[in-house]
């Protein structure tokens, strides 16, 4: 099983701006996505991840995102058990992202 790293919003923003091809996996519910989202994130609710993990590439670096970082930590754990090799959990979730990186996003 792979280790799951924590990535801070500023580090994620830096890596995205540098053009790194990271998969942003948003595991929040659809109603949360309607409130705010990180542009380019792929949406698979945590409740569906077990059955839909096959849609994702285990060879690609994947950053799991939720509201505060708890559900995304569970998602990263599920993916690690399925052989994903480079996994990150966004520290503080989209809440911290809105505060530190993109205050134009609506908070909830």
Tell how strand 4-7 and strand 23-26 pair up: unpaired
With H, G, I as helix, E, B as strand and everything else as coil, classify residue 44.
coil
The pLDDT of 84-103, averaged and rounded, is 97
Tens of pLDDT along 15-25?
999 999 999 99
Residue with tokens 């994903």: 84
Q: Which residues are catalytic?
A: 66
pLDDT of residue 98: 97
The pLDDT of 57-66, averaged and rounded, is 97
| Residue ranges per structural domain of the chain | 4-100
pTM: 0.95
4-100 classified as CATH 3.90.1640.10? no
pLDDT of residue 1: 47
Residues in contact with 78: Cβ distance below 8 Å, sequence separation at least 6, in sequence order:
49, 50, 53
d(CA 63, CA 76): 8
Is the pLDDT at 2 greater than 70? The verdict is no
């Amino acid at each position: 099983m792979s280790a799951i790293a924590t990535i801070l919003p500023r580090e994620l923003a830096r890596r995205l701006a540098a053009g790194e091809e990271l998969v942003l996996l948003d595991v929040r519910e659809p109603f949360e996505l309607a409130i705010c989202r990180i542009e380019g994130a792929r949406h698979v609710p945590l409740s569906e991840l077990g059955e839909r993990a096959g849609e994702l590439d285990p060879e690609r670096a994947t950053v799991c995102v939720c509201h505060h970082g708890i559900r995304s930590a569970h998602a990263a754990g599920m993916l690690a058990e399925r052989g994903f090799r480079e996994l990150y959990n966004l520290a503080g979730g989209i809440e911290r992202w809105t505060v530190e990186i993109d205050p134009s996003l609506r908070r909830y």
